[in-house]
Each structure stands twice: as C-alpha cells, then as structure tokens.
Structure 1
C-alpha cells in the first residue's frame, strides 16, 4: 500500500478543493482567533456546493484506491470488506457536514482509518478542514491522532515492498503536508479579512471626517445667518414700529422710513440668498466658475453698522480709541464686526430707546478690545418687542473662542448691560 492510500493521510489534494472565502468578519475580530468558523455563512452558496461536491468525490476516489490496494495486498474476509465499504461510504457522506462539526468528524475518521482503508480520503479532507477552521493547537492534536492511526494501520496491514518505519515516515509526511496546507489557507483568509476590515474602517473614518467637516461648515453658516438676519430684521422691526405708532407722521418721514424698510428687506433677502447658495454649492463648483463668496465685513465696516442703527432711531455713540486706522487680521476684524453687530441687535431687542455706547481700543501686539454697553430700557418692556432665540450670545462666545479671544457679558452695578470682548491682535 502506498502512503497516498494510507487511512490517515491520503488525499492531500482534496484540500485544494476547499478555497472558499468567508463573507463575515466576527471570527477574525475576536481577541482569540481560535475555534471559530471564520465567519462562514449559515447557508451554502453555489461555490460551497461545488467545493463540497469536489471534496466528496475526491474522498470517494481516494477511499476506493486504498480499498483496492488493501484487497490486492491482504485479501481480508468478505465481512471485513463489507464493513470497510460501509464505513468508508458513511465517512464520505458525513463530509457534507464537515464545516459544522470538523473536529468530531476528523477524530471519528482518524479512529476508523486505523482499520478501514476506504476511510482514507474522508480522513484527509476532514483533517484539512480542521486545519483551515481551527487554531493551531487543535489542528496539531488532530494531525497527531491521524499519524498514530496511520502507524496502527500499517502495523495491522504491513506492505510487502515497504518496511513499517518507512510507511510510518511517509504517513507523517503526508499528515504534515495536509495540515500545513490547511494552515496556510487559514492564514491567507485571515489576512484577507484583516485587510477588508481595515478598508471598511478607513472608509468609515473618512466618512466621519467628511461629515464632521460638513457639520462644522453648516454651523458656521448658521452663525452667519443669525448674525446677519437678526441685525437686518431688527432694523425692519424698528422702522415698521415707528410707522405703526406714528401714522400721522409727515409724508417725507413715512417715505424715508419706507425706503429704509425696503432697503433693509432687500439686503436681508440678498444675505439669505447668499447663505442658501453656499448650502446648495457642491464640492468643486468653485473650479467651474461659480461666483466667489461675497467679501466679509471687517473692523472698518463698524462705522457703517453704527450709522445704520442711528438711521433706525437708536442713540449710538462710537468711541474709537485706537492709535491709528491699522486693520487687524481679517479673521479678527470680522469677529469684531460680529461682536458689535450682536451688541447693537440685542440693544434694539431688549433695551428699546436706551442709549448705546460702542468702544474700540487696542493696538498690534496688545490685542483688540470691543465693548458695547447700553442703559436700562426706557419705560416698561413693550408687549410686542422683537423676540429673541436666546442663542446669539452663545454663538458669539464660540466665535470669539475660535479666534482665540475672550467674551464677557452681564449687568454692571449701575444697571447697564455690558458686552465686552478681547481679541488677539498679533504684532
């Protein structure tokens, strides 16, 4: 009997018919990649059916070759021959469940192969399955059992042309080849799963970074929308309120107020259209000739902002204590403009009729101070005063912190409301 027909080793080529790849990842991701099925799906795929069919036919073929060789060399009794065929047939049929019970099937086949030659093919396929789906310690134990069964078989049925030590050596060699082959397939599957898991993780992290960047950009746009529209709409409300309470005003005053309302409404719509346009802009549109973003306001635009408030009837004084008209960096100047804008808007909402003082001070290297203070409101609060969302100062504080500055607000001992911001102004 040749080693390829040995009950514990034969059919090493049967392992090549089992290269199926797992479809799931849980087995690999465990801390102990041991007795797991490498994520095999519960139902067989067409590929699994093809692989199982080839493994079954290969086991039957090897078993028949071993059975024929045993008849030629030993001529066992007919009862033994019948038991050999029945045992080999049952072992080959059991291979259809080799994925769910690989260890049990391999142990039973190894024990049967010690006396039945037709079980050789099923034992080889079962050993390969264990090496693929179980950790090294388990595969080594099953391989040792197969080697011992092969040695026992050659002790019961010695070959005429080969000595017992030589037969045992060849059996051990084939057992080692089948086991190492199965372990190689297992390592390759684990590598594929690891690479696939890393690819999924990289894609997920990339998607999270994109989503975070989009979220931050939308938050910035929302702050801009609040700052701009709250200012414009508060101006509209002041002028509309003046027309409501002075229906007998001179025609020139009514026309002037109506003109301011129209201009403010037009500007508010323009600002809203620009913000919506930014939200609708897709990545890469700038490269195809889309309109550039409108220039952002700077510290120099504070005077225009104060003039608009004065035209709306507010009593606003501006004290610019800077040594010269040097402009701070663009980000600092834009943040300073938003601080003054939010302060004037809050004064119109909550202190209607009160005087407001805007103070600017600072220089390069020492930072920029912005202070907006207003007296308590004149009279009782109007029942139809401009509503507020209560989030303006929260967003403003975040904007100032992102610039590297500090924001303070609250009532002074004299009852005035004071909004103070310090912004860095590097030399």
Structure 2
C-alpha cells in the first residue's frame, strides 16, 4: 500500500477548483454527497453518447452494449465488497429504497408478537421503514441506546427468540462511530434472526468484505462513493434473496405472466422492476474502479489522519463541543460539533461566507441529537480529497463565528 497522493487525487475533481464567495472551495460535506472525478463523468458521458439503450430487452447492438456495461457494473460492485456472486447485488435507487425493499419483503411475514431491533444511532431511513412495518404487522420495535462516548450500548438481551430482523448502522452518519457489529450479528443468528447493516457511510470509506461482516444483507448508495445519485445497492446472501418476495411488480422482474398468475425471476432481476438507472449503475462501476485503483486501505488511512487532525484542531478551540468518539480509532471521517451559544445554522452561514461547506441540522438523525441534548449539530465530513489546509480553514471559520457572535 502506497500513501495516498492527495494532490494528484484532487486534480481529478474539477469542482474543487471553484471559488465560493471569493474564497477557495473547502468542501467538508462528503457524508452528505461526494464529488465525482472526471473518470466517472467521462464514462457516463461516453455511455450516453455512444451506447445508450435499454437493458435486457433487445438483441440489437446498442441494447447488447448497454446490457453488458450494466452487468459489468454489477460484477464490479460484487468484487468490491467481496460478494460471492454478482447475483447477490441488487441495484436500487439509494440506501433508503434498499432498506424499504427489505422491510416490505422480509417484513411481509412478520406477525403480532414478533420483534424488530434497531438502534438510537440510525439515520431516519433505518428507523421510519421499521416503524411503518411494525404498525402494519403488530410487531414490536426495540432499539439499542447510545453511550455518552457516542458508541452503541449493546445489550444483547434485547435480541430475543421473538426477534426476526436486526437492522443497525455500520458507521454513523452523524457521530462517525464505526460500530463493532460482530456481537450483534452473532446474537441475532443465535436466535435465528436476520441482520441488515446500513453501510451507506462505511462502504465509501473502509475496506468492506461482506463475508467478514457476517450480516445477511447490507445497503449502501452510489453518490457517497464518487458515483452519481439515483443508484444504490442491496447486497444479500443468495439464500436470503431467494426467500424474499418481490418489492415492486412490472417488467423485467417476471419469469412468466398469464392473466391468471405470474411467476417471478430469480434475484437480482426479481427486485429490479422496470427500466433501471442504467447510466447511474455504469457510473457507480466507474467509481468502484477509481476507488479500487487507489486502494481502500490507503483511503481509510488518509481519512484517519485527517480525522485525528480535525479532532485535535477543534478540541483546541474554546467553546467547541465535539460529539462521538474522541480519537480517530473506531470512527470514520465525520465530525459533528457545537459552538457554544451559536445555532448551527448561523455557524454554517458564516462558514459558507468563507467558502467552507459543511452540513448543519439534525442530519436525518434527530434521535441522536435528542440523546445529546441539542436541537442540531454542525457536521464536517472528509474524504480522499480532504487536506489539513482545509481543516485549518474550518478552524479559522469557527473562530470567525465566535468573533461575530461574541
């Protein structure tokens, strides 16, 4: 593994040359969405210009090319996360759709008295679908809490013989915590429950191998890993996907159709009704090529260095409270903080005036904000193109916030 050449990496991202309000762009919002390198933009443009056609429907040249490119992207994603087969990769619109797919499909068999276990650390996308499922079926929703240090408070007794599904986040989008899910997976499998992991933040930033994780299903999204919006992934063990009924009905997901009844195609086609996001999947494949070429271990090492630098830099500013683990060990490149006496929206506005782009609000994780007694947080999130100079710009911006608000 060679150290990441961040200057060379940055040269692949045209948007990083922009100025905002007369200042160089400092983009610290990659947990929200990442930027796209020219390698991804060029592949998508080439597809639209040279091979655009629908997939799995035509025998003509363009249709064949399009189908090949689409299925090649599936194979690339499978290899990237260590899936046993490309057939274990279901393309969705995003992580939210992937989680809803599981909730509707697996959840169809739940009954009154069954249990679903999540955590207080979840993105709303991994809370609301399960709430809706429990309302429909009469199942009970339970959850792990969060410690003062920002880690999961794993009480294994919460998972009982009645537990059917456990769905928890692998890396928090607001606290940056990378959860050790091994105990949760082991306990869930002990009682016969299935485990879904929300890997929206971990797959873009860490070396991920689904066999090592041990879960039955994982969900992640393309736009957080240098790919386009509109494309997400549900990975599932083949036996689990085979056991799941369809989520949507329509073209491409069928085996045979008569006026009396329909039989369904095997996974992944069973879950990909209608025309899929073809160019977006191809763009995701190009993003996987780019990340693989750099090496996920090198990317993670760089982000740990940046995160450690950010944690120390923010800790040196009076009045700043950082949420989540206090060291880069066990956390990813996401740091949420509070500036005493200043609403995060005001923090974000002043930072934007200086060209520093962060996210403010509850980050679709309102229960986490409530757990730490704040209405909202300011979040800086990093990626392979983040530099220490940008962290210094963030610190200067926070000092400016304090000066403006006294």
Question: Same fold by TM-score, threshold 0.5 exceeded?
Answer: no
Q: What TM-score comes out, normalization by structure 1 length?
A: 0.21
The structure carrying a bigger helix percent of its residues is: 1
Higher relative contact order (CA 8 A, sep 6+): 2
The structure carrying a bigger strand percent of its residues is: 2
